[in-house]
Amino acid sequence: MFRISSKIYVIFLCALGGFNYVKADEAKDALIVQTILKLDSFDYEKSSNKVKDSVSRYLLKNVGTEEYFTLVEKFLIEEQLSNLQSLCSEKDPNSRAANLLFKIGGKDAIADALKGLTEGRELFISSIGFVNNSDTVSALESLLSGDNFKEMRVVVRAMSNSPAGQEKLLDLCEAKKIPSQLKQDASVLLSGSVDPRVRSRAAKIIPLPASLGGGSLPPVKELVELRGDSKKGELVYLRSCFTCHKAGEKGIDFGPALSEIGDKLAREAMYVSIISPSQAISFGYEGFTVKTNEGATLIGYVVSDGDKELTMKVPGGAVVSTNKSEVESRVPLEVSLMPSGLVSAMTKDDLIDLVEYLMTLKKTEK
């Protein structure tokens, strides 16, 4: 009955013109997807091939979009493992794809990918750095024993992006189980952690100068008089800010988007925001440390606080929900989630160029 009527519907649409069969088919796939997303207890594994085909076609057309992630996450669709792996290694580090790849495929999916992957390998490593789990951290740690120094630097940077990875890096540094050049990398990166405890442990590994060129920064009043090179500044942004802020299409969505920050902040306020982030914390981005009774630590800001669940956004942009009954403690951070140590990893010129770049980020006039 359904088949006849849907065929008639399609013929009718074709007859109307402007609508071809393919379009109608796409619309049907989308309708099926919308419908199953609304059902609370839909068993995807046991669903018909027809539904599965519609879902696969729909996913193929929408790889990497919000709908794609929602659908794959809701039904934990195993056939998507290879697409998720590609998303982790294609354009930018993708924390969402990495978290989902691990959730569906576990440590085997990560190990398999690392074994075979050559193209996009560094991006893949960076992506899985955002998964806050001891298995992925161990997978990364195992790459630190080779002789590929270039890759090892990428691994250290990746590990610095999750609380579990930071903990491991600190342990490795303190136990002197890591080459000294990498130790320097680790301490600079960890000085940018959102966790004040991590920052103070990192400072004990290798104390950092006030700014990388040595010497201390001039006061903000003097800095605002100087002009830099915005092209170079964009590179500084990609190195130091990209992991937490979006500027246009680039960057990870954790802190406020900076796409129009040049309209919002004057040069002086821009310096202050970077050098001492805790002076003015943006509304809605106040940080919390949450401990669960399974021993996990989450640091981030609260996106929703319901009766049953506490949902937080954590560095890397992942949104993590914890059952209220599993929350052991929730303590406000006294400081901004934006680390104050970022300027320690820059020269004075880097900082001036960076601000020059940020000042160019304005609403595009239409």
Contact residues for ligand HEC, defined by CB under 6 A: 192, 194, 240-241, 243-245, 254-256, 261, 264, 270, 273-274, 277, 281-282, 285, 315, 336-339, 342, 354, 358
CB of 270 vs ligand HEC, minimal distance in Å: 6
What is the nearest approach in angstroms of ligand HEC to the Cβ of residue 11? 54
Report which of 135, 182, 179, 136 is spatially closest to residue 157, judged by C-alpha positions: 182
Q: How far is the CB of 328 from ligand HEC (least distance, A)?
A: 23
User: Which of residues 34 and 279 has its CB atom nearest to ligand HEC in the complex?
Assistant: 279
**Minimum CB–partner distance for residue 216 and ligand HEC (Å):** 18
Place of tokens 């990560």: 110
Q: How far is the CB of 269 from ligand HEC (least distance, A)?
A: 8
For residues 144 and 261, which CB has a smaller minimum distance to ligand HEC in the complex?
261
CB nearer to ligand HEC: give 60 or 257: 257
Distances in Å between the Cα of 30 and the Cα atoms of 72, 75, 222, 273, 288 are 14, 16, 57, 44, 39
Instruction: Return the closest-CA partner of residue 52 out of 44, 43, 41, 63.
Output: 44
The answer to whether 299 and 194 have CB atoms below 8 angstroms apart is: yes
What's CA 13's distance to the chain center, in Å?
Answer: 43
Taking the least distance from each CB to ligand HEC, the nearer of 298 and 354 is 354
The rounded distance, in Å, linking the Cα atoms of 16 and 30 is 21
Judged on CB neighbours under 10 Å (0-12, 13-18, 19+), 116 is exposed
CB-wise, 322 or 340, nearer to ligand HEC? Answer: 340
Q: Are 93 and 99 in contact (CB under 8 A)?
A: no
Q: How far is the CB of 169 from ligand HEC (least distance, A)?
A: 15
The residue (of 105 and 192) whose beta carbon lies closer to ligand HEC is 192
- CA atoms of 89 and 94, how far apart (whole Å): 8
